[in-house]
Structure 1
C-alpha cells in the first residue's frame, strides 16, 4: 500500500502557497514543475545532481538547490514528493517537523485540475502514447491544452505545459496506486494487466484499483474504456450501471467506437474508426504498431466526450509523430535501422517486436533487451524469453537494478536461454559497454535493431549508430 492514500478533498493549486518539489528533475516531477511554473505558481525544488532538465526549470523560474537540506524548505508551504522518495529523506523529515503540507505528486497534479475540463489517461500499457496523441490532436483542433505526461512528445520534446485553453490532459500512472488521487471529468482506461508487483499483490488488486480510479470521476463525467479487455469491460459495465456515461472502444461489434479494416503500409497502421453516427477513415498513422489504432480510438473517445470538432482532431491524430522512447526511430547507418522503446513488460515486448517485424520488411529484427528491476524480472522471469522469441536475434543484458538488491537465480542469462531461438541467435551480454559492439557484429544491412527496456539501455542505440557509421 502507498504511503499516500487518496485525500478526502483536493486542495486547489492557488491554496498551496510556495511549493517545493523533492527530486524536481525526475521524469515524473519535471512535467509537473513545468505546468506549475506556466501557471505562475511560486516553485522551488531540490535534486541530488544538476542536469539539463534542472537547468531548463531554473530558466523557467524555479529556485533549485543541488543537494537536499532542511534550509531548502525556508519559506515553503507545501512539499511534494514521489513514491521513490523515502520517508527518511531529510527534506521529508524536516517538512513533517515544521508541520508543512506534504503531498504526493499525484495529489499535487490533482490540485491543478479544478477549473479545467480534465482528462486522466490510465492503463497498464499505452497511457503515455495515448496522452501524447490526445494532446497533439487537441492542439491541431485549435485548443491549447495544459498537460502533464510521463514522457516527452516527440515533435516538441515537451512533457508538461500550462496552456491557455480549458482542457488539462494528465497521464495517470497506476504503478503505486496514486492515480486514485485524481477527480477528472474524463477518465480513460486503455487496458488492465498485472505489472508493478512491488505494489500490486496480484491481478485482483490491479483490477480493484482501476475500479476505484473509474469511480472517482466528477459528476457528469465520462469513462472511455477498451472493451476488448475483459477486466476493463467489467469496469465499464459497472460504471454504466451507476448512470455514468461510458464510451467503449475496440474491435468488437458492440462498442461505441469500433476499429475496423486494420492493415499496415510500410509498417504504419491504416484503419477506420466507426461510431453510431459516422465512419472516420481510412486513417493512416505516422507512428508504427497496429496497437496504436486502438490508442487512436481512445483518443477519439476523448474528443467525443469533450465535444471537440472531430475532423481537425483526427488530422492531428494521424499526424502525431510519437512519444520519446515509444518505438522511436533513432537513425540508420550501413543499411541498419535503429529504434528504441521503453517496453519492460512481456506484453509490451511482444507488441514492440510485432511492430518491428512489419517495419523490417524482408530484413531481420535484432533486439537488445534490458530487464528492469529484480522484483519485476522475478515475477515475469519465464515470460520474457517467449516474448523475445518474436525477434530473429536477441542480445539480453543483465538486470537494471534501480537500487534493488539482486535476487539469486534471476538474471538476463535465464531469459536468454528461454527465447526458443538458436543459441547463437540468443546471447547474454552482462558487460553493458560490450553491447553496442555485439549488435554491430550481429546486424547486417537491411536489418532493424531495437533496444528495449526502461533503464539505461536507451544509451545503446546512439553508440551503435556511431559504430556502424
Structure 2
C-alpha cells in the first residue's frame, strides 16, 4: 500500500487534536513521518499518546500555537469560525483541510472499507480492524473510539486494507471512495444538520454512489431505514456495484439463522455463500451480533475467506465506552455506554438485561447529548429509560451547541415518568457518583450512559462503593 504523506500534510496542525476523529488522523500521519502539531482545550491521555509519537500538543487555543512553516491546518465541523488558530492560518495563507479530506487522502492507494450508519459504526469498524489484524492482514484503521488504551483508535498498517468509520453527521462521508461501503442502519439524527429523514436518505444515497466500480455495498436487511435505502438505490441503479444484504430477514444474502445469548457473549450462526458458519461474538446483545455479521460480510467482499474471518471475530472483546466494564465494588458492576440515540439506548439496555441475572437491578446514570437531539428525540430517550429499574438524568451535555430555549433534561424525565419509569433529575453532576453509589445494592449493575463526560463518573462511582 502507499505509505507516503498526502500533499501538503508533512507539517500539519490540528485544531482539536484530542478529539476521537482528529487524533486518529494525527496518529497515522505521525506514523507516516509527518511532523504533527495541534491544540486541544484540555490535556488528556490521548494527547499524551500523541506526544509519545513525537507530536507537539498545545493546551488551549491561541494564534501563537501555529508554526510559521505549517503546511496545512486540519479542522473538524466542531471548530468555530472565530477560533484564533483558524484566523492565524488565514493570515499566513495556510490551507485549511477538513478532517474528512485528510482521511480520504490517507486512504489513497489502499483498499478502503468505510463503515456508515446512524449507530454501530465504531463497534463494526473496531471488529473489522481487530479481526483483520488477528488474521495477520495488518490493516490501517481510523475509528471513532479507542480499542483499549488511549491512542488505539488508529494505526498505519503495512497491509493493503484501510478500515474507516464514515461519519454521516456532517455529510463528511461523501468525501470517501470505498471499495466496500457498509450501511448498518438509517435513522433521523443530527438534527442541526438534517431537517428530515428524507435528507438523511439523500445523504446516504450520495455515500453509496461513491463506491468505486467493482466495489460492494454491504447493507442491513433488517433495519427499515436501510431497506428503504436499498429500494431507492435499486430504482436509481448503482452501476458496477454489488449489493449484499445481511441480517435475520429471510431474504438476506448473508442470513443470520440464530443468535444465542451466552452471558456476556453470543453464539451466531449464519448462512453465507452456501455454507453454514457458527462463531462467537465476545460482547453481549443482538445488535452487536449483527454488527459482527456486517463485519464478516464486508471482509468477505474484499476476498477474506468467511471460514477464516468468522472465528477471528472472537478476537474482538469490545471497545472503550461500548458496554465497557469499568470495574466492580461492593458486589456492584459498573459499565459504561456511549449510547445517546434512543435506538442505541434501547439496544444497550436490552443487551444488559439479557446478560445478567433476572434478580439484578439495572441502574442508569444518563447524560443527554446535544440540545438539538434532546429537542427532537427527548420523548424517545425517556421511553428507553423505562427499560431500567431506576435512572438518574443529568443536565444536557452541550458539546458544540449553544442552548435552545425551553430544551432541558425535563423533556426526557417527563417522558420517562409518563411511561411509568422511576427517574430522578440531578443538576449537580458532582453529586452523581455518591447518589448512584447510594442507590446501588450488592448484585446491582450501574450503567453510565451518554456521549459526553458522564464516562468520567464510572471510576468515581466505584470509589464511593468501595468505601
Which range, TM-score by smaller chain?
Answer: over 0.9
Contact 1:47 1:68 in 2 (8 A): no
1:331 corresponds in structure 2 to 327
Change (3 A) 1:431 1:106: same
Is the 2:262–2:355 Cα contact (8 Å) retained in structure 1?
no
* Matched position secondary structure for 1:271: strand
CA displacement 1:235-260 (0-9 Å, x = unmatched): 33454533311111111121111111
- Write the distance in 2 (CA, Å) between the matches of 1:264 and 1:138: 24
Structure 1 residue 355: Cα displacement: 1.0
What's the CA shift for 1:438? 1.6
From 309, 314, 319, the equivalent of 2:315 is 319
Runs of 4+ residues over 6 Å off in structure 1:
421-424
Counterpart residue number, 2:336: 340
Instruction: Find the aligned partners of 2:420 and 2:255 in 1 and give their Cα distance.
Output: 43
1:235 maps to 229
**Per-residue deviation, residues 158-216 of structure 1 (Å, max 9, x unmatched):** 10110111111110111111111111111111101011101111111111101101111
Secondary structure of 1:355's aligned partner: helix
The residue number in structure 2 matching 1:279 is 276
Q: Does 1:161 align with 2:161?
A: no
Please say if residues 46 and 151 of structure 2, whose CA atoms lie closer than 8 Å, have aligned partners that are also in contact. Answer: no
SS class of match (1:291): helix
Q: Following TM superposition, by how much is the alpha carbon of 1:421 offset from its aligned partner in structure 2, in angstroms?
A: 7.7
Identify the residue that residue 302 of structure 1 maps to in structure 2: 298
Provide the C-alpha distance between the structure 2 equivalents of 1:462 and 1:16, rounded to a whole number of angstroms: 38
Q: What residue in structure 1 maps to residue 137 of structure 2? A: 143
Are 1:58 and 2:61 counterparts?
no
How far apart are the structure 2 equivalents of 1:28 and 1:121? 14
Farther-moved stretch of structure 1 (439-448 vs 186-195): 439-448
Deviations 1:339-365 (A, max 9, x none): 010111111111111011112212111
Of stretches 362-371 and 126-135 in structure 1, the one that deviates more from structure 2 is 362-371
SS in 2 for 1:158: coil
Cα 1:112–1:157 change in 2 (3 A) is closer
Counting only pairs closer than 5 Å after superposition, residues 27-176 of structure 1 correspond to structure 2 as: 27-66=20-59, 67-69=61-63, 72-154=66-148, 158-176=152-170
How many residues in Structure 1 have an aligned counterpart in Structure 2? 458
Higher mean C-alpha deviation, range 418-427 or range 18-27: 418-427
In structure 1, the gaps of 5 or more residues are 1-10
- RMSD of aligned residue pairs (Cα, Å): 2.1
Aligned partner of 1:356 in structure 2 is 352
Q: Which residue of 1 aligns with 2:245?
A: 248
Contact 1:65 1:72 in 2 (8 A): no
Structure 1 stretch displaced more, 144-153 or 442-451: 442-451
Q: Of the candidates 387, 399, 403, which is equivalent to residue 402 of structure 1?
A: 399
Q: Deviations over 1:37-84 (max 9, x none)?
A: 112233222334333322321221223333431561411222211111
CA distance, structure 2, for counterparts of residue 20 and residue 414 of structure 1: 40
Deviation at 1:397, TM superposition (A): 1.1
Counterpart CA distance in 1 for 2:101 and 2:34 is 16
Question: How big is each residue's C-alpha offset from its partner over 1:319-357, in whole Å with a ceiling of 9 and x where there is no partner?
Answer: 311110001111111111110101111111111110111
Mapping of 1:377-456 within 5 angstroms? 377-402=374-399, 404-420=401-417, 425-456=422-453
Matched-pair contact (CA < 8 Å) for 1:364–1:447: yes
Q: Is the 8 A contact 1:360 1:446 kept in 2?
A: no
Select between 87-96 and 414-423 the one with higher mean Cα deviation.
414-423
Q: Which residue of 2 aligns with 1:6?
A: none
Q: Which residue of 2 aligns with 1:3?
A: none
Equivalent-residue separation in structure 1 for 2:374 and 2:299 (angstroms):
37
Separation of aligned partners in 2, 1:451 and 1:18: 39
Provide closer, same or farther for how the CA distance between residues 264 and 287 of structure 1 changes in structure 2, counting only shifts above 3 A.
Answer: same
Displacement of 1:406: 3.2
Q: CA deviation at 1:232?
A: 1.9
C-alpha distance in structure 2 between counterparts of 1:232 and 1:218, whole Å: 20
Residue 206 of structure 1: aligned partner: 200
